Amino acid sequence: MSGLGLAAMYYEQRSTNNDPRLVVARLLALIAVLLFACAAAAGDAVPTVADPMTNKRAVQLGEKLRCLVCQNQSIEESNAELAVDLRRQIREMIAQGKSDANILDFMVQRYGDFVLYQPPFKRTTLLLWLGPGLLFVTGLVILIYNLRRRRAQRDEQPLSTEQQKQAELLLAAGSDRERR
Amino acid sequence: MQLLPVRLPAGHPMTRFLVPLAIFIVLVAFLAIGLGLNPREVPSPLINKPAPAFQLPQLHQPDKIFSQQEMKGKVWLLNVWASWCVFCREEHPVLMALAKSNVVPIYGLNYKDPRNDAIAWLKQFGDPYALSIADRDGRVGIDYGVYGVPETFVIDKEGAIRYKQIGPVTPAVLKDKILPLVKELQS
């Protein structure tokens, strides 16, 4: 706030001169100094309640957890009361020095795997994790099988002599037409 | 012209028709089952685990502490309720009737509820609970994985949770699930 004091001193020293241009110039100077004072005050703002690291971790954890009240929102996004409580719980556990894994375990123990947006890889979720790959491989196998069968068909059956003759006849007719 | 060697991909026409149909039917079956499920009913991981420990003040006598420990050796119901909870009112007559039948004691976990509101609610509609405990800030609720009040837990003699009803206890749920289980656990 020392900027404000300086501006006041400056204004008082020069206030004997009443040239209108000087008044404007002084006002502008005052505004500039005051603006600077504001910026300086913003620099030493009051520290936030939670420290930024805790906050960042809490937000990251909250985004990994499903709010069971409004199931398409994470605990971080939801305004449901349960989400508010669980955000508080996460922050408390971080303050107690619990690891991220500890905190996620805590939630899973109480609300089940469903609380995790990324389900764990285990026996009951095998199909969920491997299903898409399995479908892709199955599709690929069917595609390759069909392509091979088609090629085999095309290659295996040469024209009979009669068909050959007729084909030649048709071709000859075609080339006759072209010549004309 | 009919002799042009145009060949359709091999495979019996019937299979070519039946395979997509079979896939379609399987898909429809999956979707029908999926749409029939209630996404609100998340299976609790607490089933067959010891009921989480708590020590909470009683609603009517806040200077007295109640703990789940005191119920060792008894089959009991823990019903999570609140005066602000709409569906609690729906299940309330069911609980009143159950309490009157004296089959199993019902303990109330008054969840995130101002004390006066809770007491007024019980006065107005009747009190089916052997006693209620006050979970003012919802911490015990978190330990029990409560996310949709009302919820009802059936707890056995060893203090393990055997069943969790999410949402109101309907007469059907009581008759088909809770009462048979209670009978089985009591014997």
Q: Which domain holds residue A164?
A: 125-174
Spatial separation of the C-alpha atoms in residues B89 and B76, rounded to whole Å = 21
Where is average pLDDT lowest: A46-60, A99-113, A117-131? A46-60
User: Domain check: are A78 and A110 in the same one?
Assistant: yes
**B105 secondary structure, DSSP code:** -
Contact call for residues B103 and B30 (beta carbons, < 8 A) = no
B35-67, pLDDT tens digit by residue? 988 877 778 889 999 999 999 999 999 999 999
Complex ipTM over 0.90: no
Same domain for A131 and A108, yes or no, is: no
* Domain assignment present for A46: no
Looking at the structure, tell me whether residues A97 and A83 fall in a common domain: yes
User: Is the domain of A100 the same as that of A64?
Assistant: yes
The pTM assigned to this predicted structure is: 0.69
d(CA A160, CA A154): 14
- Which chain B residues are within 8 Å of A160, Cβ to Cβ? none
One domain, residues A115 and A56: yes
Using one digit for the tens of pLDDT, what is the confidence trace for A43-66?
A: 444 334 567 888 888 999 999 999
pLDDT tens-digit map of B145-175: 999 889 999 999 999 999 999 999 999 999 9
Residues A104 and A156 in one domain: no
Total tally of structural domains belonging to chain A: 3
> Looking at the structure, do residues A72 and A113 belong to the same domain, yes or no?
yes
Which residues, in sequence order, are CB contacts of A74 under 8 Å at separation 6+?
A: A62, A63, A64, A65, A66, A67, A117
Tokens coding A85: 């409580």
Give domain status of residue A47, yes or no: no
Name every chain A residue with its beta carbon within 8 A of the beta carbon of B16. Answer: none
Q: Which of residues 68-127 of A touch B (CB under 8 A)?
A: 68-69, 71, 81-82, 85-86, 89, 108-114
